[in-house]
Every structure is written in C-alpha cells, then in structure tokens.
A = this chain, B = another copy of it.
Amino acid sequence: MKSIQVGLLGIGTVGSGTFNVLRRNQEEIKRRAGRGIEITMVADLDTARAKAAVGDGVQVVADARAVIANPDIDIVIELIGGYGIAKQLVLQAIAAGKHVVTANKALLAVHGTEIFAAAQQKGVMVAFEAAVAGGIPIIKALREGLTANSIQWIAGIINGTTNFILSEMRDKGLDFATVLKEAQRLGYAEADPTFDIEGVDAAHKVTLMSAIAFGIPVQFDKAHVEGITKLAAQDIKYAEQLGYRIKLLGITKRAKGGIELRVHPSLVPAKRLLANVEGAMNAVVVHGDAVGTTLYYGKGAGSEPTASAVIADLVDITRLHTADAAHRVPHLAFHPNAMSDDLKVVPMCEVVTSYYLRLRVADEAGVLAKVTGLLADAGISIDAVLQREADEIGGEGSTQTDLIILTHDTREGTLDDAMVQLQALPTVLAPIVRIRKEELS
C-alpha cells in the first residue's frame, strides 16, 4: 500500500522531534499502521534550518501554502503555534481536503468551534493529542477509553513550567521570583513566561478537556484563570504542615448549575498521587461514574514526547480515513449535533470547593473566637485551624501572628462575602491569602 504523505508546517523543537521519531521508528510504525507514514514536505521560513533538520529527499519550502496546495499530501501537521497565520493555514488545509494534526492548544481553545465545524463539513479530521499534556494520550483516553462514563470531573497538572517552579519552591523553600529566574536559566521557563505562570496555557488545555468530557463547545473565554505569581513560600510551608501540597490545577467539573472550568493554585492532599507529581511532569486525574478515579502521567512537553502524540494522531488518521465520516471518533468526543447547549460554565461565585485562608492577625486574646465566629455566622464550616506562635512569625516580642484556616466545602460567593467582613476586622492586619483546596476523592 502507498505510504501516507505528510506535510509539516514549522520545524522547531516539536517538528524536528516528529521528523526524527517518524524516521527512527518508521519500520515499527509501519508494522502497526499497516502502511508507511512519511513526511515528504516541510515548510519553514528558515529554510536553511529546515534543510539541516531533514536532510536530502524531503522537499523544503518557505511558503506553507505550497504544502497545502500539493495534491500528494494527505495530512498536514501544523506546528507554527499562535492564533494568526496558524489559523489561516489550518482552515486552508481543511478547505483543501487535508486532514490536520496540530499541537496548537491556544488556537483550538479559542477558535475550535469554527475549525471543527469546517473540518466536519469538509469530511476531514483535525487531531490534537499533542495539544494537551504532551506525550500522555489523555485526549484518546477521554474520547475513547472512558467513553462509557459520565465524566464527573477532571483535575490536571498540565503545565510543566509551573509545576517545576512549585516543586522547586517547596523543595528549597525559595520564593517565586527566585525560582522563576532559575527555571528560565535551565530552559524550563521561556524568556516571556506569562502564558505559563499566569495559567493561560493550562486554561487552554483544560478548556479542550472540558469540551471533550462534557460535550460542550470550547469556551476559553468562560474559564477562570489564575496563575502562581502571587504564591508565597510560607503558604507552601503551611500547606505542607497541614498535609497538603500546592499545585497549579486545571479543573473542570460537573456541578449543580452547569460546568466548572477553572485554573488556579490548589491545595491537594499530600497522599494523593497527583500531589507527588514533581518537576516538569504532567498528570491528569479523570473521575468517571463507572470507572471511578483514573490517572495519566508523563512528560507534558519536549521534542520527542510531544512528537509521540503527533505521530499517534498520524496513525489514527491513517486508520480512520477509510471509515465513513459518521463513524469516526468525533473531534470533541460527542457528535456535533449532540453537543449540549444547555450546560453552561458556571461563574466562580457559584463554585463549591474548600479553602485555605491565611490571616495575619494581632496576637491578642479573642482574635480566633472573633474570626471563627464570623465564619460560623456566614455558615462556613471549619475543617482545621493552625495558629503560629507570634515569636515564630515576627521574631521575639512580635505582636503579630499567622492564623491558618481550612474550610469545608463552601460556595465561593459566600466565602467572598465573609472575606470582606474578615478583612474589615481591626485585628486582621494584612490582606487575607485565600487558596482553593481540592480533596480529589
């Protein structure tokens, strides 16, 4: 059987990884896929770099449109990234009847509805395993492996940069800014790390998982996005003393009024496997009504791990392109005419979860009673309290101390209101720190 011919747009880290793995394992991949899969054409503005990466025998062009226009190309891999030219090229490839493989989470989380509709209409596939959690086959697990389940919730460490920073902050007791610099030096964080540290990248990924899990459209604009830049080393330490670790989680959850969709730092019980995912590794926990809790762990980024996902998509397309379109795996797991329009993303004030609160308070009699009384009046139930000795906080003779409170499940709006009241107490001396807590049980 004739080889499947693939055109690659953009040959940076992931692109060259894809080219190398496909070539190195070509024999084995062919034995699995039933036919060869070959990158025969590459487009990159830096044609010299591209030629150096692929060697002879592969056509290199500067203009990506030449790849799309090539009638011999069956599948186009988009590894340019971003919303601009990448979007145009993906839509052009679809219009030209090409199947598309992309690692572009930003593009799909924001413009997925338009892109998947175009693909559907044209009868081609847009595959994106590499867009979430790198080499971990989590899209396949959600879309196919757990298809029997009504998914209840997903919680994932889906950004390696922030997990590396948080692991280092905990290990070494350092603050955020110091560790960020180290991460940049080691190549774990980019020169402009905004998308990672502000939670945007994780939000793109959890948006995609949310759509697949619940049969709703991609709605990045509805996601609550909070990064790790404000996390203090002392909160990581206090959390540890209470039996928790702090992780940046992407969470999506079936809730009373709809679907929760949020990215923020979370306390996670130290005994959970997810809390023990260290460094730049990723892991996603999925809870289904039938299967219970499952977890998927691996490298979430990097040249060959991401290439592993890109190539898995190439093989899937090679297999499925002979199935009639109605029987292929739907892009977002649910058939387009069976998506839920009635399941809305709920606002954060309606989210129900538990909380870690840290209050810098005057070290005087009655403060604890006042604070806990106020929470009780608001109907907020307390799970644990940790009060530090004043001397430990401000040195000998200090008149301030830290009061740490863990709450039981509470509606976030209720807590917001209570925090306004707490903050107004004359004995509360600094802005209250509030971090959400997920038991994941």
Contact (A140, B144) CB under 8 Å given A292-B305, A319-B327, A330-B34: yes
Contact (A315, B147) CB under 8 Å given A291-B304, A295-B296, A323-B323: yes
Contact (A135, B294) CB under 8 Å given A31-B215, A289-B25, A335-B31: yes
How many monomers of this chain does the complex have?
2
Q: Is the Cβ of B290 less than 8 Å from the Cβ of A146?
A: no
A58 within 8 A of B: no
Docked Cα-Cα span, A97 to B203, in Å, equals 46
Q: Is the Cβ of A312 less than 8 Å from the Cβ of B135?
A: no
Name the contact of A276 in the complex, choosing from B273, B321, B326 (C-beta under 8 A). Answer: B273
A307 within 8 A of B: yes
Task: Using C-beta atoms within 8 Å of the partner chain, give the interface range for chain A.
Answer: 35 or more
A32 within 8 A of B: yes
A347 within 8 A of B: no
Which residues of B have CB within 8 Å of A326? 1, 34
A385 within 8 A of B: no
**Nearest B residue (CB) for A329:** B319
**Nearest B residue (CB) for A297:** B295
Contact (A290, B215) CB under 8 Å given A273-B277, A326-B34: no
A121 within 8 A of B: no
Q: Is the Cβ of B307 less than 8 Å from the Cβ of A290?
A: yes
Name the contact of A290 in the complex, choosing from B143, B308, B335, B338 (C-beta under 8 A). Answer: B308
What are 6 A-B contacts defined by CB distance under 8 Å? Answer: A32-B215, A34-B327, A292-B299, A294-B296, A296-B296, A322-B324
Question: 7 tightest CB-CB pairs across the interface, nearest first?
Answer: A137-B145, A148-B311, A31-B338, A294-B298, A135-B291, A323-B323, A291-B308
